Structure 1
Amino acid sequence: MKVEIENGKLAAAINFMYGLKLARKQSRFRRHFIQQMNDRLKQVEEDRKALLEEHSHKDEDGKAIVNDGQYDVKDMVAFSNDLKELNSEKLVIEGGDNGEMIRTIKQVLIKFENEEYEGQESEVYDYLCEQFKVDEEGEDNE
């Protein structure tokens, strides 16, 4: 089994997972899952900053112009398109060493299916259930 999480949904997924009350094995694998998402989120932030620098006006030394902490973006449409592309790229977690973590997180999501969620929490829960294929029958659904 493999799970794919879009870069643009990483922060919300991390926050959602942190909010779940879990113990022992489930808590341990949640930490592993969050760590993988955090590592990817750091890379995405570095890539976003590189995009900002690439799309900004440059000073005479060829460095991006930054005013009051804001990059002076010369083509906001091109930057937005590149950022949208970055956010739609996916973190892929495949079985192998991650197999038990994937099965455990899937069980966590099943465990919380009768909880009531609102707004962004509801969207994130539904998204994670889709990615972990919670509604599909199979050996992973117990």
Structure 2
Amino acid sequence: MKLANYELPTLHKILYELELTSKQSRMRTRFCKLLEDRIIEMEEEKNKLIHQYAEYDENGQIVMKKNEEGKNLFTIKDVNVAAFNREMDILMREDFILDETEERKEMLLTVSNIILNIETPFSKEDALYYDRYCEVLENLSYAK
């Protein structure tokens, strides 16, 4: 099973918000744990990139600026913006590959069943992601 890093948080959110019981809940929890591990790893790598490319003040602190909504954002040195954006794009498009082993078969087939038969309505970006998740899960090697 292969997804890009940028696809993982939405899949985690969709699964996490479902009210499930028994086996479905247990298998979802196992699957979400695998996603969480990768999301944490991805966040750590994002933070390394931020620290590598950020603009620092005279005290060695990252320079922060507020956006229109008042949210604090780090600043990137002008000369580093293109390189930072390129590295972030590479990180976010990196493949997350979950081997379809016999050990994971029950979990992946259960999660596949949950996603493929979900009754939740999706709109906008979530609908596009949902279609992508269905495509990936429909192509699990176990079903072939």
The answer on 1:65 being equivalent to 2:52 is no
Q: CA RMSD in A?
A: 2.5
1:8 corresponds in structure 2 to 6
Superposition map of 1:16-27 within 5 A: 16-27=14-25
**CA deviation vs aligned residue, 1:61-112 (integer Å, no higher than 9, x gap):** 8x56333664331211111111011000122111222122111111112222
Q: Distance in 2 between matches of 1:122 and 1:81?
A: 27
Identity of aligned residues (%): 24
> In the superposition, relative to structure 1, how do residues 103 and 92 fare at CA in structure 2: closer, same or farther (>3 Å)?
same
Residue 126 of structure 2 corresponds to 121
Displacement of 1:130: 1.5
Find 2:37's aligned residue among 30, 36, 39: 39
Matching residue's letter, 2:36: N
Cα distance between partner residues in 1 of 2:142 and 2:33: 26
Does the residue aligned with 1:94 lie in a helix, a strand or coil? coil
One of 80, 86, 89 as aligned partner of 2:85: 80
Q: Residue 105 of structure 2 contacts residue 142 of structure 2 at CA under 8 Å; is this kept in 1? A: no
Q: Secondary structure at the match of 1:91?
A: strand
Which residue in 1 is equivalent to 2:68?
none
TM-score scaled by length of structure 2: 0.79
Deviations 1:12-66 (A, max 9, x none): 11111122232211111111111111111111111001011111245678x5633
TM-score by length of 1: 0.80
